[in-house]
Amino acid sequence: MNVVKEFDYLVIGGGSGGMASALCASEFNASVGVIESKCLGGICINVGCIPNKLMYHCSSHTQFIRNNSDYGFDLTFNGFNFQKFKKSCYAYVKELNESCEKDLKNSMIEIINGFGTFDVDGGIIVDEKKYKGKYTLIAVGGKPKLPAEIPGAEFGISSDQFFQLQNFPKKSVVVGAGPIALEIAGALAALGSETHLLIREKHVLRNFDQSLMEASTECIENGPIKLYKNTNVEKVEKNFDGTLKIFTKDGLILENVNTLIWAVGRSPSTKSLNLDKIGVKTNSDGYIIVDESQETSTSGIFALGDVCGETLSLSHLRGRLLANRLFNPKFTLKNCILHAATIISFHPPIGSLGLTEFEAIKKYGKEQITLYKCKFIPLYFGITFYKEKCIMKLVCEGENEKIVGIHMIGRGIDEMLQGFAVALQMGVTKKEFNFSVPIHPTSSEEIVLMRNGVKPE
């Protein structure tokens, strides 16, 4: 098949990583094509970060409603209109899709609509037309896993279908202990769904710092979600009225469930790409293997984002760094340490930046690590009946106590972490924190006021 068009940079996947890299490459006058099979903006805009965060903002209102009388208000609550909220959400997502398209077009990037697969020469075939890039970027993301081995698993949905729900569920079951499970269960419960969260072990967020793992589990136990630990789903049955009956291996039966959501991880979208035709290697889970420059085992073909098993915060930056390395002759920055960051939009929000205590000990040795911790009730809850704790932890390395990790849970920490991410990237030390102005009265001042570091146990 003949190549119909050649680009300097051909990007397959118009999600967060692909878009960021494509737009950056166009700044250096590279000719760029972006192949997208669904909606521009990928998971993040269409069924991920954006709808989830809007859901979080929506459910935050219930907290204000709960606390309003403590602040002297006398309001009458008449209910929540899920359809109205969904309609506004869809409209906003559509606006963002259009804005992605506008951004690409304004940057003279060609949008190729359709599903791409590799040909043996590294070209990409879309609807029987072949395109080629001098450099090619694979940024095709991933999709939700469904536990096919569980009988009746197909009666449940994933986060991808969550916003297609016709009605707000009266009773919901969420399975999983990661960020998606927490965000969905947290919003459902806050908005009044009877929410049951089923986890296989003792804690949620087991990949996070222990402080967050324990604090968020405790927070769930003290809140409206009903948490079941050490629980495995055995089978799911569908009743005549459409409700579900969920059986666990330890004999628990959850009846009359309106919605079951599987949040049991995601897998890379590598299956139909024909990667074997071009020699791009993947690991045993299907994630594409790349070197420190994002290059795959095939020269000139790069990959980033969820398809490599990386978080969004890093893939965005890696996409721009890659475009600079390929097309910006003035770019001299060598590979630097990047501090991954994650915010989980739960009530209260959970944030993690850089290394956990466990990772820092593994990297630098226990004797090199100093920890700073604090726990307090934010001022907002000073006069409310319901209280919510804020917990902060710094992980520092070496004699100079360079900060390599920050972990927090509490009101407002989601908007707090970005500034600290800049400081960490600049190599900030605890001493520099100590001599920073504490901005009073905020929760964030506590992070520069922590004293009396301790050694890991």
Ligand X SMILES: NC(=O)c1ccc[n+]([C@@H]2O[C@H](COP(=O)([O-])OP(=O)(O)OC[C@H]3O[C@@H](n4cnc5c(N)ncnc54)[C@H](O)[C@@H]3O)[C@@H](O)[C@H]2O)c1
Ligand Y SMILES: Cc1cc2nc3c(=O)[nH]c(=O)nc-3n(C[C@H](O)[C@H](O)[C@H](O)COP(=O)(O)OP(=O)(O)OC[C@H]3O[C@@H](n4cnc5c(N)ncnc54)[C@H](O)[C@@H]3O)c2cc1C
Q: Residues annotated as binding site?
A: 53, 116, 176-183, 265, 306
* Binding residues for ligand Y, total number by CB under 6 A: 34
Q: Pick from ligand X, ligand Y, none: which does 116 bind, CB < 5 to 8 A by kind?
A: ligand Y
Contact status: 265 vs ligand X (CB under 6 A): yes
Among 40, 173, 181, 421, binds ligand X (CB under 6 A): 181
Q: Pick from ligand Y, ligand X, none: which does 115 bind, CB < 5 to 8 A by kind?
A: ligand Y
Give DSSP secondary structure letters for 361-424. Answer: HHHH-GGGEEEEEEEE--GGGGG-SS---EEEEEEEETTTTEEEEEEEESTTGGGTHHHHHHHH
Q: How far is CA 105 from the centre of its chain?
A: 27
Q: Which of 140, 141, 138 is nearest to 322 (CA)?
A: 138
Amino acid identity, position 31 = S
Instruction: Pick the stretch among 10-18, 91-99, 169-177, 211-219 that binds ligand Y (CB under 6 A).
Output: 10-18
Contact status: 36 vs ligand Y (CB under 6 A): yes
Contact status: 203 vs ligand X (CB under 6 A): no
CB under 8 Å to 101, separation ≥6 — which residues?
A: 40, 111
CB 138 within 8 A of CB 296: yes
d(CA 52, CA 345): 8
Contact status: 318 vs ligand X (CB under 6 A): no
Among 37, 114, 147, 423, binds ligand X (CB under 6 A): 147
> Which x/- pattern over 248-287 shows residues binding ligand Y (rule: CB under 6 A)?
---------------------x---x--------------
d(CA 301, CA 7): 13
Contact status: 235 vs ligand X (CB under 6 A): no
d(CA 356, CA 404): 8
Amino acid identity, position 59 = S
> Which x/- pattern over 88-127 shows residues binding ligand Y (rule: CB under 6 A)?
---------------------------xx-----------
How many angstroms separate the first and last alpha carbons of the chain?
Answer: 63
Catalytic residues: 440
Q: Pick from ligand Y, ligand X, none: which does 217 bind, CB < 5 to 8 A by kind?
A: none
Beta-bridged to residue 237, according to DSSP, are 245
Quote helix, strand, coil % in the chain, to nearest 5: 35, 25, 40
Minimum Å gap between C-beta 155 and ligand Y is 20
Q: Which helix (H) or strand (E) is 51 found in, with range?
A: helix 49-67
d(CA 159, CA 187): 13
Minimum Å gap between C-beta 316 and ligand Y is 8
Among 159, 258, 296, 324, binds ligand Y (CB under 6 A): 159
Contact status: 344 vs ligand X (CB under 6 A): yes
Q: Which of 1, 8, 12, 13 is nearest to 121 (CA)?
A: 1
Length of the chain: 457
Contact status: 414 vs ligand Y (CB under 6 A): no
Q: Pick from ligand Y, ligand X, none: which does 36 bind, CB < 5 to 8 A by kind?
A: ligand Y
∠ CA 400-402-407, nearest 5°, is 140
Instruction: Give the annotated binding-site residues for NAD(+).
Output: 176-183, 265
Q: Which of 48, 44, 51 is nearest to 14 (CA)?
A: 44
Among 38, 235, 238, 375, binds ligand Y (CB under 6 A): 38
Beta-bridged to residue 112, according to DSSP, are 35
* Binding residues for ligand X, total number by CB under 6 A: 18
Name the site residues for ligand X (rule: CB under 6 A). 147, 175-181, 183, 200, 263-266, 311, 342-344
Name the site residues for ligand Y (rule: CB under 6 A). 12-18, 35-38, 42-44, 48-49, 52-53, 115-116, 139-141, 159, 180, 269, 273, 305-307, 311-313, 315
